[in-house]
């Protein structure tokens, strides 16, 4: 046996030595129901026996797990019979030339034992242990020469990519990267390069380098087919496989026609992340000799100590892998059930599962999943506790990482993008911990990052996102909540991470493109659509209502209920406003509108300035009030909306461009319940008018979304409408209606010296559960807001102190919701306390109501122990209750029953969804006929309120701000 390779084995000698064991083992084979009776043909390698499955017997007659634990070499018995392989911690050996060992770089008994053991496990003639996985590739690539070519996969380990780059720049060895998941692409590349080589256009393909499953996308390559193709089109090429992800326990590529296999021994083989090692295996003597020569020449063979540790680690390889793989399967199913894109060949959804199952004995313990948002992924990774944030895999401890920031950071971001390696990808390397702990920890991190949320109960508490509207669900109780308990938070909640420049002062208005404008970039040639459908969400204020009017921070989020507007041209040239929810319809002749009262500053051409004007034009409002007219069912409620509509219409359309149009507004939000129906309505009016008068252009693709500058304008105009309805609103409601998500909002106010409103997105809100309870008591935002202002004027000291305390509450809430280091339980418990304190402050401002206090009393009693506050203007409307993660379905049912007995309606809400949106009809892309494809007004009007949202969803593609 060569002292360098230390690996050549004598199969027949071992077979004889272990013959007894083999016979005994076969006699108990019948006990093992999983033992395959006839190997699948594809698994039979050239040698025709002992193929890759872990259940098959090795050359010594033992199954793989037994082989792992049984370290023995009949040719190298320890002189003292030591049970464990001794560490020959020596650089040199004394003796005459020709002795088996002389110098540890060339050979060492501990390493020889390891290499012998590896030959047993991999059923091959030559095994080598070197200093790392990359050292393996270094040794292997020295088998080819300068000017040769390599064909490799396009989803390869970052370190491999780096070495291939070095070979290209320093040795002229270039690599073609192909998608190895498609064997025909490998065949094509081999053929093409063979032709090119014949024509003298490139070097000879001398290596095919494969990984399967790939790291980190878990893509699968058909090894047998690729190896066959290499033998056919590039017969001299060495087929090399990095088998680190599988280990020889799950896959033995040599048996599939591959020439050389290497593993990073740092991973599964050693299993404890306490050493670095690489292992090469091959069955060809010519290659074995050259590899042995290279290792001896460059001196990167594994040290005696590490050889010992690796041997020790290998003994438990099968046990560890079984456990890790089983847990990985659970984790993969768990993430898949939450709706994440999971890459794992153990899932039925994996596109190449059949190929993988043919060549490997299991899916392994590495998986990856996508969240759709890089920041969100970072939050998830940062929020885990049990999962170690680390590169590498194969350890008994579970690891989590973001390949693009860690293991694959050395790949140029452009190349990563070209190879479709998602920046948000999270890789999980599952260890041997209790699976339940692993899933619990992951779940807590997903929750904490706001990637998932507890499913709204479908049994007693209809989801506000479901087709059940608040109004309609008062009637009944849908079916029980299905498993799992959690669900993915829609991504749109994370669409914007930077602060948004807001309406006043945050924008260079001169640069805004408007159709009527003269400035650079005017969209004068675009003809506006005659018909659009838009929508915007309602909101829930968690902290800071009322105080926000006076420059204090508020924390709020969009709810999933929305207002919708349908706009179409009217043939009779009249203008109509339909508010079917209130049973009201106005029709005006355009000439009857008080155009002459519209002040110059609000006229066409100055429209970008509209929202910037703090003061409404009271003359115009008075004139509109007069001409609104009285119609059937008109109340103060609908009247306020109608006035706001006309005010906005006259400013945005302008006298010259105004044309006969029908506006129909529908809402799945309860109106006047503190959930921001007026702001949602305002955002719908502003956007639909802007689009149909060409002030803004309807975006053409959902990918780009409604541009930020357009959203700022829509918000600006929506604020105008809010002012008409509420007198002195803060702007938080319309900001949430337009931008969506969860926000910390501060209005620019003399008290805070802000130049423009401040809007910060909050990510941690999405997973928090809320119960909204509608008192059914109507109230008027305008007068409640005015009452607080009056108190402030009358008792400034008291009210200013209240405002200061509310500012502290909002500040703390914002910091809790954006600090992902806060343990979930602590977060929810402190938020609950803040809810209670904030409510007390609102009571002090006189904006609560007996009905709200009744809800508070019920929810906070001994049985439920929940924190509740009023939300919005108060004086009735809705109460919001914070739900801890462990608040059970049974308790929820009980609470809902009691509240409904008291005449209240409660709904579990989801927050953080999209802001204002515009519909692109389904056929628009194909037919390029935007206008004609908008569903007819009658269809819109007649869609049932409770199915409005799903109707709109199906009507086409929605583009959101
Ligand atoms: N779908 C709708 N149809 C008619 N009017 C609406 C609609 N949505 C909102 N409004 C207007 O908004 C007002 C409600 O505003 P407000 O009292 O602040 O309650 P909310 O919290 O629902 O915004 C109504 O009085 C009405 O003028
Ligand atoms: C009371 C206030 O803070 C929120 C009003 O909300 P709503 O109208 O009740 O949805 C007023 C405002 O911020 O404009």
Provide the pLDDT for residue 910. 74
Strands (E), 109-178: 126-130, 149-153, 174-178
Question: Residues 445-493: pLDDT tens digits?
Answer: 998 888 888 776 533 333 333 333 333 332 233 333 334 678 887 654 3
Which ligand lies nearest the alpha carbon of 554?
Answer: 2
Rounded to the nearest whole angstrom, what is the distance from the C-alpha of residue 920 to the centroid of ligand 1?
A: 26
Q: Residue 417: pLDDT band by 50, 70, 90 thresholds?
A: confident
Provide the pLDDT for residue 252. 94
Q: Which two tokens stand for residue 872?
A: 């919005």
Question: Residues 99-120: pLDDT tens digits?
Answer: 899 999 999 999 999 999 999 9
Strands (E), 524-670: 532-543, 554-569, 574-579, 584-589, 661-667
Pick from 189, 185, 159: which is nearest to 175 by CA?
189
736 C-beta closer than 6 A to ligand 2 = no
Pocket residue to mutate for ligand 1, from 678, 724, 730, most atoms within 8 A of Cβ: 678
Which residue has the least CA distance to atom 4 on ligand 1? 579
Pick from 362, 361, 371: which is nearest to 400 by CA?
371
Rounded to the nearest whole angstrom, what is the distance from the C-alpha of residue 473 to the centroid of ligand 2?
A: 24
Q: Alpha-carbon distance 330 to 323, whole Å?
A: 11
Which residue has the least CA distance to atom 8 on ligand 1? 677
Which residue has the least CA distance to atom 14 on ligand 2? 729
Q: Are 303 and 278 in contact (CB under 8 A)?
A: no
Helix, strand, coil percentages for the chain (3-state, nearest 5): 40, 15, 45
913 C-beta closer than 6 A to ligand 2 = no
Taking 50 as the threshold, does the pLDDT of residue 679 lie above it? yes
Question: Residues 736-792: pLDDT tens digits?
Answer: 999 998 899 999 999 998 878 899 888 767 778 889 999 999 999 999 999 999 999
Taking 60 as the threshold, does the pLDDT of residue 98 lie above it? yes
Rounded to the nearest whole angstrom, what is the distance from the C-alpha of residue 674 to the centroid of ligand 2?
A: 7
The CB density around residue 942, as the number of other CB atoms within 10 Å, is 10
Provide the pLDDT for residue 881. 96
Provide the pLDDT for residue 9. 39
DSSP helix/strand/coil, 959: strand
Question: Residues 146-159: pLDDT tens digits?
Answer: 999 999 998 888 88
Q: Ligand 1, residue 638: give the atom nearest the CA.
A: 27
Rounded to the nearest whole angstrom, what is the distance from the C-alpha of residue 808 to the centroid of ligand 2?
A: 19
The mean of the pLDDT values for the chain is 84
Helices (H) and strands (E) in the chain, counts: 30, 27
Question: Residues 218-238: pLDDT tens digits?
Answer: 999 999 999 999 999 999 999
Which residue has the least CA distance to atom 4 on ligand 2? 872
Q: Alpha-carbon distance 352 to 435, whole Å?
A: 26
Q: Alpha-carbon distance 537 to 557, whole Å?
A: 10
The CB density around residue 375, as the number of other CB atoms within 10 Å, is 14
pTM, entire model: 0.60
Provide the pLDDT for residue 379. 87
Compute the average pLDDT of residues 615-627: 91
729 C-beta closer than 6 A to ligand 2 = yes
Q: In sequence order, what DSSP letters do the residues of 195-258 get, joined into one string?
A: HHHHTTSS--EEEEEEESS-TTT-----HHHHHHHHHHH-TTPEEEEE-TTTHHHH--GGGGT-
Q: Which two tokens stand for residue 431?
A: 């260890």
Question: Residues 535-591: pLDDT tens digits?
Answer: 999 999 999 999 999 999 999 999 988 999 999 999 999 999 999 999 999 999 999
Residues with CB under 6 A from ligand 1: 563, 579, 581-582, 637-638, 640-641, 665, 667, 671-679, 681, 725, 781, 872
Q: Which residues are catalytic?
A: 105, 157, 242, 267
670 C-beta closer than 6 A to ligand 2 = no
Collect all residues with Cβ–Cβ distance below 8 Å to 619 and sequence separation of at least 6.
Answer: 597, 599
Provide the pLDDT for residue 631. 86
Pick from 646, 642, 644: which is nearest to 631 by CA?
642
Provide the pLDDT for residue 376. 87
Provide the pLDDT for residue 456. 60
732 C-beta closer than 6 A to ligand 2 = yes
Running DSSP on this structure, what letter comes out for residue 302? P
Q: What domains are defined for the chain?
A: 11-315 (3.40.640.10), 319-449 (3.90.1150.10), 494-909 (3.30.230.10)
Q: Alpha-carbon distance 530 to 526, whole Å?
A: 12
Q: Are 101 and 93 in contact (CB under 8 A)?
A: yes
CA 945 to chain centre: 31
Provide the pLDDT for residue 7. 44
Compute the average pLDDT of residues 677-701: 93
Q: Ligand 1, residue 665: give the atom nearest the CA.
A: 1
Question: Residues 810-837: pLDDT tens digits?
Answer: 999 999 888 767 888 888 999 999 999 9
Compute the average pLDDT of residues 879-908: 91
Of the chain, the percentage scoring pLDDT greater than 70 comes to 84
Of the chain, the percentage scoring pLDDT greater than 90 comes to 62
Provide the pLDDT for residue 654. 87
Compute the average pLDDT of residues 413-422: 75
Q: Alpha-carbon distance 302 to 309, whole Å?
A: 11
Provide the pLDDT for residue 638. 86
The CB density around residue 440, as the number of other CB atoms within 10 Å, is 12
873 C-beta closer than 6 A to ligand 2 = yes
Which helix H or strand E contains 454, and what residues bound it?
Answer: strand 452-454
190 C-beta closer than 6 A to ligand 2 = no
Q: Ligand 1, residue 672: give the atom nearest the CA.
A: 19
Compute the average pLDDT of residues 857-872: 96
Predicted complex ipTM:
0.96
Question: Residues 176-209: pLDDT tens digits?
Answer: 999 999 999 999 999 999 999 998 889 999 999 9
Q: Alpha-carbon distance 946 to 10, whole Å?
A: 77
Compute the average pLDDT of residues 343-366: 95
Provide the pLDDT for residue 414. 74
Q: Residue 611: pLDDT band by 50, 70, 90 thresholds?
A: low
Q: Which two tokens stand for residue 13?
A: 């000698």
């Amino acid at each position: 046996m060569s002292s360098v390779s230390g690996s050549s084995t004598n199969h027949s000698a071992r077979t004889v030595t272990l013959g007894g064991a083999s016979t005994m083992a076969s006699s108990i084979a019948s006990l093992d129901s999983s033992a395959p009776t006839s190997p699948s043909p594809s698994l039979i390698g050239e040698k025709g026996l002992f193929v890759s499955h872990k259940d098959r017997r090795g050359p010594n007659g033992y199954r793989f797990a037994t082989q792992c634990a049984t370290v023995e070499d009949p040719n190298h018995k320890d002189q003292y019979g030591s049970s464990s392989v001794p560490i020959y911690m020596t650089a040199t050996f004394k003796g005459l030339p020709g002795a088996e060992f002389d110098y540890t770089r060339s050979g060492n008994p501990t390493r020889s034992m390891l290499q012998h053991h590896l030959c047993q496990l991999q059923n091959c003639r030559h095994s080598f242990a070197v200093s790392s996985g990359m050292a393996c590739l270094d040794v292997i690539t020295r088998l080819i020469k300068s000017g040769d070519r390599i064909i490799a996969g396009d989803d390869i380990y970052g370190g491999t990519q780096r070495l291939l780059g070095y070979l290209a720049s320093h040795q002229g060895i270039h690599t073609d990267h192909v998608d190895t998941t498609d064997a025909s692409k490998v065949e094509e590349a081999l053929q093409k390069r063979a032709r090119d080589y014949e024509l003298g256009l490139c070097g000879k393909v001398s290596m095919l380098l494969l990984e399967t499953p790939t790291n980190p996308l878990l893509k699968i390559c058909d090894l047998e087919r690729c190896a066959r193709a290499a033998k056919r089109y590039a017969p001299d090429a060495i087929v090399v496989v990095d088998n680190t992800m599988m280990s020889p326990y799950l896959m033995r590529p040599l048996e599939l026609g591959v020439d050389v296999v290497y593993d990073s021994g740092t991973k599964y083989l050693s299993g404890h992340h306490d050493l670095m090692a690489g292992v090469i295996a091959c069955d060809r003597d010519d290659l074995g000799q050259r590899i042995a020569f290279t290792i001896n020449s460059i001196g990167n063979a594994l040290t005696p100590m590490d050889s010992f540790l690796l041997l020790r680690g290998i003994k438990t390889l099968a046990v560890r892998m079984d456990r890790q793989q089983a847990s990985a399967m659970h984790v993969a199913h768990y993430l898949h059930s939450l709706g994440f894109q999971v890459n794992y060949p153990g899932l039925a959804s994996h596109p190449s599962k059949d190929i993988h199952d043919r060549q490997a004995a299991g899916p392994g313990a590495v998986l990856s999943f996508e969240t759709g948002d890089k920041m969100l992924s970072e939050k998830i990774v940062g929020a885990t506790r049990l999962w170690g944030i680390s590169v590498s895999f194969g350890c008994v401890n579970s690891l989590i990482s973001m390949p693009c920031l860690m293991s694959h950071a050395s790949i140029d971001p452009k190349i990563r993008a070209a190879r479709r390696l998602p920046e948000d990808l999270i890789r999980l390397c599952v260890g041997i911990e209790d699976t339940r702990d692993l899933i619990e920890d992951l779940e807590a991190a997903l929750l904490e990052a706001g990637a998932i949320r507890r499913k709204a109960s479908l049994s007693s508490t209809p989801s506000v996102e479901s087709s059940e509207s608040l109004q309609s669900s008062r009637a009944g109780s849908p079916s029980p909540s299905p498993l799992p308990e959690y669900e993915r938070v829609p991504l749109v909640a994370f669409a914007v991470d930077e602060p948004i420049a807001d309406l006043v002062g945050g924008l260079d208005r001169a640069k805004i493109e408007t159709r009527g404008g003269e400035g650079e970039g005017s969209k004068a040639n675009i003809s506006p659509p005659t018909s659009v459908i838009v929508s915007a969400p309602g909101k829930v204020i968690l902290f800071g209502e009322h105080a926000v009017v006076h420059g204090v921070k508020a924390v709020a989020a969009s709810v999933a209920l929305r207002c919708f507007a349908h706009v179409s041209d009217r043939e009779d040239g009249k203008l109509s406003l339909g508010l079917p929810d209130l049973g009201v319809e106005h029709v005006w002749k355009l000439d009857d509108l008080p155009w002459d009262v519209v002040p110059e500053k609000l006229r066409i051409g100055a429209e970008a300035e509209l929202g910037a004007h703090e003061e409404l034009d009271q003359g115009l409002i008075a004139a509109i009030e007069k001409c609104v007219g009285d119609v059937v069912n008109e109340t103060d409620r609908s009247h306020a909306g109608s006035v706001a509509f006309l005010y906005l219409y006259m400013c945005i359309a302008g006298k010259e461009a105004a044309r006969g149009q029908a506006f129909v507004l529908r809402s799945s939000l309860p109106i006047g319940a503190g959930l921001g129906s007026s702001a949602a309505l305002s955002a719908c009016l502003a956007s639909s008018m802007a689009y149909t008068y060409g002030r803004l252009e309807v975006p053409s693709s959902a990918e780009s979304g409604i541009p930020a500058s357009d959203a700022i304008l829509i918000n600006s105009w929506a604020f105008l409408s809010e002012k008409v309805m509420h007198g002195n609103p803060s702007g938080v409601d319309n900001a949430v209606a337009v931008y969506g998500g969860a926000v910390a909002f501060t209005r620019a106010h003399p008290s805070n010296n802000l130049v423009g409103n401040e809007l910060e997105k909050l990510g941690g809100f999405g997973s928090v559960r809320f119960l909204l309870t509608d008192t059914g008591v109507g109230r008027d935002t305008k007068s409640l807001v005015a009452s607080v202002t009056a108190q402030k004027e009358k008792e400034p000291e008291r009210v200013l102190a209240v405002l200061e305390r509310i500012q502290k509450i909002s500040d703390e809430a914002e910091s809790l919701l954006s600090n992902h280091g806060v343990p979930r339980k602590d977060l929810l418990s402190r938020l609950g306390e803040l809810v209670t304190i904030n409510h007390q402050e609102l009571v002090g401002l006189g904006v609560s109501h007996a009905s709200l206090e009744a809800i508070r009393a019920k929810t906070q009693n001994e049985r439920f122990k929940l924190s509740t506050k009023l939300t919005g203007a108060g004086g009735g409307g809705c109460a919001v209750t914070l739900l801890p993660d462990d608040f059970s379905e049974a308790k929820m049912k009980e609470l809902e029953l009691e509240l409904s007995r008291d005449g209240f309606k409660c709904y579990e809400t989801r927050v953080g969804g999209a802001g204002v949106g515009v519909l692109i009809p389904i056929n628009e892309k194909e037919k390029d006929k935007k206008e004609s494809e908008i569903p007819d007004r009658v269809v819109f009007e007649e869609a049932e309120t409770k199915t409005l949202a799903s109707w709109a969803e199906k009507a086409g593609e929605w583009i959101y701000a």
